[in-house]
Structure 1
Amino acid sequence: MKIRVRSILFWSAIISLLWAPFGQVEAAPPGIHTNAVGASLIDVESGRILYSEKGDTPMRIASLTKIMTAIIAIEEGKLTDKVKVSKNAFGKEGSSIYLKLGEEMRLHDMLYGLMMRSGNDAATAIAEHIGGSVEGFVYLMNEKAKMLGMDHSHFTNPSGLDEGEGHRSSPNDMAKLTAYALKNSVFQDIVSTKIKKVPNPNEAWDYSWLNKNKMLSLFEGADGVKTGYTKLAKRCLVSSATRDGQHLAVVTLNDPDDWGDHARLLQYGFKYYPLQTIVKKGDFVEGTPWVVGRTFSYPLAEGEAAQLTRKVTLVDPASMEYRLAERGTLQFSLNQKSIQTVPIYDATSPLLQTTSQSTFSFKEGNAYQETWLSHYGYICRLLVQSLFTVSESQWAD
Structure 2
Amino acid sequence: MKKFVSVLIIVLFIFTNRINVFAAGADQLDLKSEGAVLLDSDTGAVLFAKNANDKMYPASLTKIATAIYAIDMGNLESIVTVSHNAVSQDGTRVYLNEGEQVPLKKLIQGMLINSGNDAAVAIAEHIDGTVEHFSENLNMYLKAKIGVNNTHFTNPNGLFDENHYTTAMDLALITNYAIKNPVFAEIFGTKVLEWKGQSWETTLLTHHRMLKGELPFPGVTGGKTGYTSESKQTLATTADNGKIRLTAVVMKSELKNDKYNDTALLLDYGYNTFQHATIKQGEIFKADNNFFYPENDTLITESVKGCIKKINNDGMLSIEDQDGQQIQSLQLKYKEPQKLKTVPTKREKPKEHKQQLFQVNVILGMMIIAFAGAFIGFRNKRTRKYKNLS
What TM-score, normalized to structure 1? 0.68
Instruction: Pick from 200, 205, 209 the counterpart of residue 210 of structure 1.
Output: 205
Output one character per residue of 1:324-343: Cα deviation in whole Å (capped at 9) or x when no partner. Answer: xxxxxx86333699823467
Tell me if the contact between 2:224 and 2:236 (Cα under 8 Å) persists in the aligned partners. Answer: yes
Once residues 50 and 158 of structure 1 are traced to their aligned partners in structure 2, the CA distance between those partners, rounded to angstroms, is 29
Tell me if the contact between 1:239 and 1:250 (Cα under 8 Å) persists in the aligned partners. Answer: yes
Task: Please name the residue that 1:298 is paired with.
Answer: 300
1:219 aligns with 2:213: no
Task: Please name the residue that 1:253 is paired with.
Answer: 251
Once residues 140 and 282 of structure 2 are traced to their aligned partners in structure 1, the CA distance between those partners, rounded to angstroms, is 40
Output one character per residue of 1:366-391: Cα deviation in whole Å (capped at 9) or x when no partner. Answer: xxxxxxxxxxxxxxxxxxxxxxxxxx
Give the counterpart letter for 2:75 in structure 1.
Answer: K
1:202 positional shift = 4.8
Give the counterpart letter for 2:275 in structure 1.
Answer: P
Give the counterpart letter for 1:41 in structure 2.
Answer: L
Instruction: Pick from 116, 132, 135 the counterpart of residue 132 of structure 2.
Output: 135
1:119 aligns with 2:120: no
Task: Please name the residue that 2:174 is paired with.
Answer: 177
| 1:97-108 matched pairs, under 5 angstroms | 97-108=94-105
Give the counterpart letter for 1:239 in structure 2.
Answer: T
Once residues 266 and 328 of structure 2 are traced to their aligned partners in structure 1, the CA distance between those partners, rounded to angstroms, is 25
Tell me if the contact between 1:96 and 1:121 (Cα under 8 Å) persists in the aligned partners. Answer: yes
Output one character per residue of 1:27-78: Cα deviation in whole Å (capped at 9) or x when no partner. Answer: x967111100111111111222111111100111100111110000000000
Task: Please name the residue that 1:239 is paired with.
Answer: 237
1:166 aligns with 2:168: no
1:84 aligns with 2:81: yes
Q: 5+ residue gaps in structure 1? A: 1-27, 314-329, 346-397
Distance 1:29 1:127, change over 3 A: closer
Identity of aligned residues (%): 34
Task: Please name the residue that 1:340 is paired with.
Answer: 330
Task: Please name the residue that 2:373 is paired with.
Answer: none
Output one character per residue of 1:104-145: Cα deviation in whole Å (capped at 9) or x when no partner. Answer: 111111111100111000010000011111011101221023
Give the counterpart letter for 2:205 in structure 1.
Answer: L
Give the SS at the match of 1:51: strand
Tell me if the contact between 1:241 and 1:248 (Cα under 8 Å) persists in the aligned partners. Answer: yes
1:344 positional shift = 10
Distance 1:259 1:241, change over 3 A: same
What TM-score, normalized to structure 2? 0.69
Once residues 81 and 196 of structure 1 are traced to their aligned partners in structure 2, the CA distance between those partners, rounded to angstroms, is 20
Give the counterpart letter for 1:266 in structure 2.
Answer: L
Once residues 181 and 285 of structure 1 are traced to their aligned partners in structure 2, the CA distance between those partners, rounded to angstroms, is 32
Give the SS at the match of 1:240: strand
Tell me if the contact between 2:58 and 2:226 (Cα under 8 Å) persists in the aligned partners. Answer: yes
| 1:1-397 matched pairs, under 5 angstroms | 31-147=28-144, 148-163=146-161, 165-202=162-199, 206-216=201-211, 217=213, 218-255=216-253, 256=255, 257-279=258-280, 283-285=281-283, 293-302=295-304, 305-309=307-311, 332-334=317-319, 339-341=329-331
Output one character per residue of 1:167-203: Cα deviation in whole Å (capped at 9) or x when no partner. Answer: 1111111111111111111111101010012443457
Output one character per residue of 1:65-97: Cα deviation in whole Å (capped at 9) or x when no partner. Answer: 111100000000001011111000013101111
Give the SS at the match of 2:329: strand
Distance 1:61 1:214, change over 3 A: same
Tell me if the contact between 2:302 and 2:327 (Cα under 8 Å) persists in the aligned partners. Answer: no
Output one character per residue of 1:348-372: Cα deviation in whole Å (capped at 9) or x when no partner. Answer: xxxxxxxxxxxxxxxxxxxxxxxxx
Distance 1:244 1:310, change over 3 A: farther
Tell me if the contact between 1:58 and 1:169 (Cα under 8 Å) persists in the aligned partners. Answer: yes
Give the counterpart letter for 2:62 in structure 1.
Answer: T
C-alpha RMSD over aligned residues: 2.7
Once residues 337 and 293 of structure 1 are traced to their aligned partners in structure 2, the CA distance between those partners, rounded to angstroms, is 21
Once residues 265 and 46 of structure 1 are traced to their aligned partners in structure 2, the CA distance between those partners, rounded to angstroms, is 17
Q: 5+ residue gaps in structure 2? A: 1-24, 286-291, 321-325, 336-390
Give the SS at the match of 1:196: strand
Task: Please name the residue that 1:387 is paired with.
Answer: none
Once residues 213 and 132 of structure 1 are traced to their aligned partners in structure 2, the CA distance between those partners, rounded to angstroms, is 31
Once residues 327 and 245 of structure 2 are traced to their aligned partners in structure 1, the CA distance between those partners, rounded to angstroms, is 23
Give the SS at the match of 1:100: coil
Once residues 225 and 143 of structure 2 are traced to their aligned partners in structure 1, the CA distance between those partners, rounded to angstroms, is 24
1:228 positional shift = 0.2
How many residue pairs get aligned? The number is 294
Once residues 68 and 266 of structure 1 are traced to their aligned partners in structure 2, the CA distance between those partners, rounded to angstroms, is 22
Give the SS at the match of 1:274: strand
Give the counterpart letter for 1:333 in structure 2.
Answer: S
